[in-house]
Amino acid sequence: MRINSYRVGLKRSRKPLAGVTLVETMIAVALVAVFFVSIFEVNGLCLRYITSSKNNVAVLQGVQDRLEQLRNLSFANLTSASYVQSLMTTPANGAEFLARSPTEVVTLSAYPTPNASNTQITLSAGGSSATINSTDSNLATAKLVKVNVTYSWTETLGGRSRSEQSETIISAGTKK
């Protein structure tokens, strides 16, 4: 605040400026506004993190559940691309995010010596039917199969592309 700042000679000078000028007020208000906007922005960020975290947890469980399903298939079904293709049309679990957003890719390859191309099946985001991209001809005679399940999606937080994947090796055995 400026006080006693009058100047002799001007008409206004007779009247002291005891208050605050509009510019000063505007600057003060702007500073307070910036402070609050930044705090609310941080809060908004927290809420977006929660959404992002929910999606992450859903996908993490989805990957585990899909692997769990594949582990429990009979070996003949596991090595059949068309069987896995039809299995993938049903989401791994009931999470709403899984049915809506991520692209799911299941890759099967004979282990330890795969064919040049893996068996790869893709279910695009929100899609109802999976596509067989390629097949590994060594799968039919393999005793071990390497299975990779990958979910990829675009995060609402900053539009970043994210992915979650897990890989395991499943052996042929006598299963009911």
List of residues contacting another protein (CB under 8 A): 3-4, 6, 14-16, 18-19, 32, 36, 39-40, 43, 46-47, 49-50, 53-54, 57-58, 61, 64-65, 68-69, 71-72, 92-96, 174-176
**In terms of CB distance, is 19 or 126 closer to another protein?**
19
Q: Please report, to the nearest 10 degrees, the dihedral formed by the alpha carbons of residues 71, 73, 74, 80 taken in order.
A: -100
Query: Least distance to another protein from the beta carbon of 136, Å?
Result: 25
Are the C-beta atoms of residues 55 and 101 closer than 8 Å to each other? yes
Task: For the CB of residue 76, give the shortest distance to another protein in the complex, in Å.
Answer: 13
CB 72 to another protein: min, Å: 5
The answer to whether 132 and 121 are in contact (CB under 8 A) is yes
**Nearest distance from C-beta of residue 57 to another protein, angstroms:** 6
Residue whose tokens read 């790869």: 120
What's the rounded Cα separation, in Å, for the pair 75 and 84? 11
* C-alpha span between 147 and 119 (Å, rounded): 10
Q: Which is nearer to another protein, 18 or 132 (CB)?
A: 18
